[in-house]
Amino acid sequence: MLDFKGLTYPKGFRVATGFANIKTQGPDMLILLADEPVDTCAVFTTNRWKASSVLLAQDSLKKTNNRVQAILVNSGNANAATGKEGAEDTLELISHLAAQLKIDPSLVLMNSTGVIGQRLPIDNMKNEINAMVKHFSTNDTQSPQAILTTDLCTKAYSSSFMCDSSEKDPVKISAIAKGSGMIHPKMATMLSYITTDIFMDFDLLKKIFKECIDTSFHCISVDGDQSTNDSVILMSNPNTENSKILDISDKRASVFKENLANIMKTLAKDIVYDGEGATKFITVKVTGASNYTDAHNVAMTIAKSSLVKTAMFGSDPNWGRIIAAAGSTDVFFDPAKTSLYLQGELVLKNNQSIKNNPKLDKLMQEKNINILLDLGLETTSPCEAECWTCDLSYNYVKINAEYRT
Amino acid sequence: MLDFKGLTYPKGFRVATGFANIKTQGPDMLILLADEPVDTCAVFTTNRWKASSVLLAQDSLKKTNNRVQAILVNSGNANAATGKEGAEDTLELISHLAAQLKIDPSLVLMNSTGVIGQRLPIDNMKNEINAMVKHFSTNDTQSPQAILTTDLCTKAYSSSFMCDSSEKDPVKISAIAKGSGMIHPKMATMLSYITTDIFMDFDLLKKIFKECIDTSFHCISVDGDQSTNDSVILMSNPNTENSKILDISDKRASVFKENLANIMKTLAKDIVYDGEGATKFITVKVTGASNYTDAHNVAMTIAKSSLVKTAMFGSDPNWGRIIAAAGSTDVFFDPAKTSLYLQGELVLKNNQSIKNNPKLDKLMQEKNINILLDLGLETTSPCEAECWTCDLSYNYVKINAEYRT
């Protein structure tokens, strides 16, 4: 269902990539441009130490009432903790691009990812912008690469689907992401840009976008650390003869949401597969919680545990670490009512361990590991969550310790 | 000031150690006995998945109004997640010891540490208890060893000091601890037992004990994981002609607190020095916060960060990771007002990085690393905190992944 070869942007969007020598190799600049100001939803890092570009983007979205036209991205340098001068650099680059595009600077958002505490090479970047604006394209293979830092793989999908068989036009979604590799000198960061041509009420679009983030990018952890620059941005430019979707009761809204969630979850999982030093992909599912928030909290705590992650690297069915992590949260449950499954095999029921299972050692050798903890609470509301993480390997330490700044 | 050779328990306390073959080597059982029921303060793990012995100890302390007489400890098996049968084992061992000592079972607390999900060898243990109760002593070298799991070093101190020059008797404190090594199969756990002969109002003693825990054992992290069995217990048996200390305004209370805090901080730091795979001891100090809780929260978040800990292992002055960790908490501060020092060298001021400091690379090679983050808030209340952690090394991964269950 997802199309992986190259990336076709929805009609009304164009991209250009460039090389400003911020990274030692590959394209390191991207401009994503809409034909006119379009509905734009964004979620940014909650880190108090936000990069100036993030603060500025939040201001611009307020000023334009969430209708912007271009996003400028650079990889290789986060332009974070660079003080007043760093903020001025961001502004200068935005103004420069806006002048080239002949649009208001508040219609341009900028994102940066990479090393913290270093100034951007803005003269290089301005020259490159001059070249890039002459080469916009709607079909490209370089945009997913231009936002990478030390990721091993690009992460990009586009999708086309009918929201209703009676409609005239299919809906298109196209999305790229980076993370959680590091950059020189090693930050775990994520960026994602999603474009679509859905014709939808903005408040509804925003609601759906946030819900999809909660069950995708908010469900992954590589090392539990949070960056200063994380941004996920969705732009919608309806070029369609379909009628506008006004509220959630319109079944087309659900179809769109399902497709958007599918793409975002796949990108999120790709980030984990590409996690620093990862040798295993671990799915942590928690069921039988009082509510989704509790289930998510427990699942993420297990997913972040260094002891769980090292055990998984060693293919060790050491489930004591899983319950110790689960119990360390504030979430209410009764250990006496829980069940724990490793690779589908029951290892703990009613707080009592199941006798040694000879199959388990072999199952733990697999690359994909499934942890399922049922908290055993009976509720009517949604009460389960799934999170994804990778193991903690020698290579994680190597990547993060041995390659010097 | 602290006396390290062997351990002299305060008058009125006796210990016995035993070998029940729960561990493959070394003593694995300890009985700590007071001449009569004595004031006992305890802090237990907040993990929801508490071992049955922890739950039972909490009940006994309630029942006896915090006056117990004996503590039974075993290492090598946590007796956690062993269901109803495991709880019955704990009860049986407690009753057995109580019968031998001819005291009420509610006067006996039990603690276990080690592998999760396995039954205790209680027949062995009962036999060993029978032997142990014949060999109590007040001066011993084995008690610190009997509670160890895979710790490399014992952790034990005793101290004797005058609370006031006009007093007749010195006050004695004697304390042992274990952690954060692992056990077969690898749990990061801590236990500590402290005895003293201070003659003090119980509520005041409890208050001082909790405050000392907050600035010692609550300030350390090896890997951010929390165990099902953590317990810190203080017993006080005044054998003294000194007069009773009634409230905090009595200057003897401050002297006692200072000495107790000193011992507990030293034990806490020892646990970090002995942390799994540790090659560096890292002190994280946060100043200029609105209050102690905020300062502690930020310091602990930095101390727990895998990215910070791997950078320190690599002797990499990668301070971007430190501020990213600091910013990921809910604590209010303004990045523009902060200063960050690594090994005493300023690297960031007012959110602006300081030019490369050639001295820093060499300073980062040292075994002791100091991180000081000043949040720059002006307050009148106590506004700083210090936490201790170790680096994250290849050996941490090896210890936790390669040695199979």
Q: Which of B276, B301, B315, B318 is the best substitution to test chain A (most A C-beta atoms within 10 A)?
A: B318
Q: Does residue A1 carry a pLDDT above 70?
A: no
Which residues does chain B have within 8 Å of residue A398's beta carbon, measured at their own beta carbons? 394
Question: In this structure, are A256 and A149 located in the same domain?
Answer: yes
Kindly tell me the burial class for residue B81, based on how many C-beta atoms sit within 10 Å of its own C-beta (0-12, 13-18, 19 or more).
Answer: buried
- Give A106's pLDDT tier (boundaries 50, 70, 90): very high
Q: Are residues A237 and A285 in the same domain?
A: no
Cβ separation A324–B225 shorter than 8 A: yes
Q: pLDDT at residue A183 above 50?
A: no
What CATH number does residue A324 fall under? 3.10.20.340
CA distance A363 to chain B (A): 15
**Three-class HEC string of chain A:** CCECCCEECCCCEEEEEECCCCCCCCCCEEEEEEEEEEEEEEEECCCCCCCHHHHHHHHHHHHCCCEEEEEEEEEEECCCCEHHHHHHHHHHHHHHHHHHHCCCHHHEEEEEEEECCCCCCHHHHHHHHHHHCCCCECEECCHHHHCCCCCCCCEEEEEEECCCCCCCCCEEEEEEEECCCCCCCCCCCCEEEEEECCCECHHHHHHHHHHHHHCCHHHEECCCCCCCCCEEEEEECCCCCCCCECCCCCHHHHHHHHHHHHHHHHHHHHHHHCCCCCCCEEEEEEECCCCHHHHHHHHHHHHHCHHHHHHHHCCCCCCHHHHHHHHCCCCCCCHHHCEEEECCEEEEECCEECCCCHHHHHHCCCCEEEEEEECCCCCCCCCCEEEEEECCCHHHHHHHHHCCC
Query: A355-386 burial string, b = 16+ CB within 10 Å, else e?
Result: eeeeebeebbeeeebbbbbbbbbeeeeebbbb
B179 three-class SS: coil
Mean of the per-residue pLDDT values of chain B: 91
Known catalytic residue at B138? no
Query: A288 with A395, same domain?
Result: yes
Cβ distance of B185 and A48 shorter than 8 Å: no
Spatial separation of the C-alpha atoms in residues A338 and B204, rounded to whole Å: 40
- Report pLDDT digits (tens) over B319-364: 988 998 899 888 999 999 999 999 999 999 988 888 878 899 999 9
**Preceding peptide of B185 cis, ω within 30°:** yes
Q: Are B34 and B77 in contact (CB under 8 A)?
A: no
- B90 occurs within a structural domain: yes
To the nearest whole angstrom, how far is the Cα of A179 from the nearest Cα of chain B? 15
Handedness of CA B343, A401, B276, A222 (dihedral sign): positive
Please tell me if residue B319 touches chain A, with a CB cutoff of 8 Å: yes
Residue A111 has pLDDT above 90, yes or no: yes
- Asked whether residue A240 carries a pLDDT value surpassing 80, the answer given is yes
Task: Kindly state whether residues B52 and B149 are assigned to the same domain.
Answer: yes
Helix H, strand E, coil C: the string for A197-235 is CCCECHHHHHHHHHHHHHCCHHHEECCCCCCCCCEEEEE
- Whether B246 and B268 map to the same domain: the answer is yes
Tell me: the pLDDT tens digits for A311-335?
Answer: 999 999 989 889 988 998 889 999 9
Task: Give me the residue from A115, A327, A401 closest to B48, CB to CB.
Answer: A327
Indicate whether B8 pLDDT > 60.
yes
- Banded pLDDT at B180 (limits 50, 70, 90): low
The confidence score (pLDDT) of residue A338 equals 94
Q: Is the CB of B326 less than 8 angstroms away from the CB of A82? A: no
Phi, psi of A283 (to 5 degrees): -100, 125
* pLDDT given for residue A180 in this prediction: 63
Tell me phi and psi for residue B118, to 5 degrees: -120, 145
- Residue A312: closest CA among chain B residues belongs to which residue? B401
Comparing A95-99, A285-289, B116-120, which segment has the lowest mean pLDDT?
Answer: B116-120
Residue of A116, A397, A403, A405 to mutate when probing chain B, most B C-beta within 10 A? A397
Instruction: Give me the residues of B, 96-115, that contact A with CB < 8 A.
Output: 115
Is residue B50 located within the same domain as residue B158? Answer: yes
**Last residue within a domain, chosen from A249, A273, A297:** A273
A308 found inside a domain: yes
| pLDDT at position B2 | 43
Minimum distance, in Å, between the CA of residue A286 and any CA atom of chain B: 16
Residue A1 lies in a domain: no
pLDDT for B132 equals: 97
Give the Å distances, CA to CA, from A89 to A77, A79, A318, B77. 12, 9, 50, 59
CATH number where A243 lies: 3.60.70.12
Give me the mean pLDDT over the A85-89 stretch.
Answer: 95
Claim to verify: residue A232 and residue A293 sit in the same structural domain: no
Q: Which pLDDT value is given to residue B4?
A: 45
- Residue B185's pLDDT is 35
Decide if pLDDT at A184 tops 50. Answer: no
Question: Scanning every residue of chain B, which has its alpha carbon at the shortest distance from the alpha carbon of A347?
Answer: B117
**How many structural domains does chain B have?**
2
Mean pLDDT, residues A356-373: 94
Of the listed ranges A51-55, B149-153, B288-292, B313-317, the least confidently predicted one is B149-153
At B152 the three-state DSSP class reads coil
Q: Give a yes or no: residue A49 inside a domain.
A: yes
pLDDT bin (cut points 50, 70, 90) of residue A403 is low
Residue B2 within a domain:
no
Q: Is the pLDDT assigned to residue A113 strictly greater than 50?
A: yes
Task: Judge if B266 and B203 occupy the same domain.
Answer: yes
| Predicted local distance difference test score (pLDDT) of residue A48 | 84
Q: Are residues B151 and B266 in the same domain?
A: yes
- Give this complex's ipTM: 0.86
A160 and A236 part of one domain:
yes
Asked if A85's CB is within 8 angstroms of B352's CB, the reply is yes
Give the pLDDT score at B289.
Answer: 96
- Kindly state whether A332 is in contact with chain B, defined as any CB-CB distance less than 8 angstroms: yes
CB contact under 8 A, A223 and B307: yes
For chain A positions 202-241, those within 8 Å of chain B (CB to CB) are 223-228
> Residue A270: pLDDT above 80?
yes
Mean pLDDT (chain A, rounded): 91
Inside any domain, residue A21: yes
Which domain range does residue A53 map to?
A: 7-273
Tell me the pLDDT tens digit for each residue of B30-75: 999 999 999 999 999 888 888 999 999 999 999 999 999 999 999 9
With bands split at pLDDT 50, 70 and 90, how would you rate the model's confidence at B189? low
How confident is the model over A100-127, as a mean pLDDT? Answer: 95
Last residue of a domain, one of B254, B273, B292: B273
- pLDDT tier, A2 (very low <50, low <70, confident <90, very high otherwise): very low
Q: Which chain B residues touch A80 with a CB distance below 8 Å?
A: 320
Q: Between B147 and B140, where is the model more confident?
A: B147
With CB atoms and an 8 Å threshold, state whether B185 touches A320: yes
Question: Contact B327/A49, CB-based, under 8 Å?
Answer: yes
**Domain-located, residue A11:** yes
Asked whether the beta carbons of B252 and B163 are under 8 A apart, the reply is yes
Interface A–B counts its CB contacts (< 8 A) at: 230
Choice among A189, A196, A228, A266 that is catalytic: A189
In this prediction, residue B35 carries a pLDDT of 97
Co-location of B77 and B214 in the same domain = yes
Residue B404 with chain A: CB contacts under 8 Å: 314, 316
| pLDDT on residue A197 | 97
Q: What tens digit of pLDDT does each residue of B110-120 get?
A: 999 988 888 99
Looking at chain A, which residue has its C-alpha nearest residue B317? A405
B249 touches chain A (CB under 8 A): no
Is B1 inside a domain boundary?
no
* Residue-wise pLDDT tens digits, A294-306: 999 999 999 988 8
Q: Is B139 on the interface with A (CB under 8 A)?
A: no
- In the listed set A242, A273, A304, which residue is the last one of a domain according to the structure? A273
- pLDDT surpasses 70 at A185: no
Are B290 and B244 in the same domain? no
